[in-house]
Structure formats: C-alpha cells, structure tokens
C-alpha cells in the first residue's frame, strides 16, 4: 500500500509553539507522532520534543511493533520527560502524546492525554482515542453531550500526561485498508473543527495536504485572539500503483 502524509504545526496566538510532530517512513513502516506540551517557560516545548523523538525513534529501532511495544515506548518516553524535570525551570514540564504506526495491513495506535486520532474508512469517521480529561469523563458518564466537550470548562483538566507517574497509555489496533485516512491533532485544532466537518473535508480531498488545508480554513475562521498552538498530521492510504 502507498501511504502519504502531511504535517502542520502553528504557534497560533501564543509567543512560542509547545507542540511537536513527527511523520517518518522507512521501507517497513510509517510512524506518526504528535505531542502537545504543557508547563510554559519552554518546558512544554522541551517535553513534547523529547517525547515525540523518543517514541518515533523506538518505533524504527524495533524489529516488530505491537500494542504492548508501543505502550512501552511511551512509558520510556515518560521516564525521559521525568528525568528532564531535574533541570532548573523544567520541573513542571508535561506533554500529551498520540502515536500511530502503519505496517503491512495493520494500524497500531496509542495515546496519553487529549491529543486525538481519527480514522476515516468506508465513508465513516471514528474517533479512535478517548480524551484523558475531566470533560471527556463527564461525556462518557452522560453528564454532557459530545458537542459540549468542545466548550466545557474542564476540558483542559487532564487526568493523564507524560511527565507524571503513573504513565498509563491506551492502545488500539485494526486492519489497514486502501481508502483509509487518519488525522492526528492537538486540542488547539480539534476544539474548532468538528468531527462531521473532518469527514466532509476528507471525502472531497485528493491528497492529505488538500484535506489539511480544507480543515485549516475552517479553523482560522473560528479561533479567537490568543488561541492555543495547533497541530495536525493527515494520512492517506492507497493502493500501490
């Protein structure tokens, strides 16, 4: 199968960008990682870069990657972030992370925090990750609707992040088919572009870049002054010609 990707990150209305993205391929697999740093004063930027680089590197250094291995890579990345907190000024650095590995006819994913992974397949969209946040727990418990998640006051209260123990990634896997598409994105993006719009823009796009640009046009019309950093990675899976 032919896999093409497009990656984009923007500091938004902030004075620096604490998001980090990786989109890399070799002859065996494609690995996508997106991390959204927390902590300010450069700490979030450092945490997200450390975590994204660690997970991506481990995926390519390992002969075989499965759900257990991907979870272990994230736990090791968590230790890297924890070790970095010993530096002055970085004591509170944290990051979310979502990772996707594509190889052969299988997709593997894992996440910690509220950075998301969506899959479009056979004309339908599914959110493959569940936000580790107070807001999303309220949604799962029936206290609020799915649309309320985008505006709830507790959406930035995260229950799991890298840079804190214990580190408990959630993992998943599924078949990889020609025609599938994936979106990895930070909360600074998904808070302003809704699931139905993600699907509509995917279905009318010929390339991952075109899909991203369609969604970014929606995003720019809605973001307030001083908005958060925002990042995305789009992926198309096609038959090899």
- 2-238 CATH fold: Phosphatase 2c; domain 1 (3.60.40)
Each residue of 92-106: pLDDT tens digit?
A: 899 999 999 999 999
Q: Which two tokens stand for residue 9?
A: 């990150």
pLDDT confidence bin for 41, thresholds 50/70/90: low
pTM comes to 0.95
The count of other CB atoms within 10 Å of the CB of residue 2 is 10
Each residue of 190-222: pLDDT tens digit?
A: 999 999 999 999 999 999 999 999 999 999 999
Which sign, positive or negative, has the C-alpha torsion 180, 115, 158, 200? negative
Mean pLDDT taken over the chain: 94
Our CA dihedral for 125, 130, 131, 136, rounded to 10 degrees, sits at 100
């Amino acid at each position: 199968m032919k896999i093409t990707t497009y990656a984009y990150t923007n500091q938004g209305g902030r004075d620096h960008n604490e998001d980090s993205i990786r989109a890399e391929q070799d002859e065996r697999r494609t690995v996508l990682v997106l991390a959204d740093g927390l902590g300010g004063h450069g700490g979030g930027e450092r945490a997200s870069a450390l975590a994204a680089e660690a997970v991506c590197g481990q995926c390519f250094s390992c002969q075989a990657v499965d759900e257990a291995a991907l979870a272990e890579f994230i736990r090791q990345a968590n230790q890297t972030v924890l070790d970095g907190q010993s530096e002055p000024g970085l004591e509170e650095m944290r990051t979310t992370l979502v990772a996707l590995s594509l190889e052969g006819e299988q997709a593997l994913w894992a996440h910690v925090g509220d950075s998301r992974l969506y899959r479009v397949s056979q004309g339908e969209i599914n959110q493959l990750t569940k936000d580790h946040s107070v807001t999303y727990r309220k949604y799962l418990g029936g206290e609020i609707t799915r649309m309320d998640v985008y505006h709830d006051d507790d959406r930035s209260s995260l229950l799991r992040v890298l840079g804190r123990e214990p580190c408990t990634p959630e993992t998943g896997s599924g078949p990889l088919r020609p025609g599938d598409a994936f979106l990895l994105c930070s909360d600074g993006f998904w808070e302003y572009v809704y699931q139905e719009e993600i699907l509509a823009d995917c279905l009318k796009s010929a390339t991952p870049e075109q899909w991203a640009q369609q969604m970014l046009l929606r995003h720019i019309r809605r973001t307030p002054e001083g908005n958060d950093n925002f990042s995305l990675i789009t992926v198309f899976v096609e038959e090899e010609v």
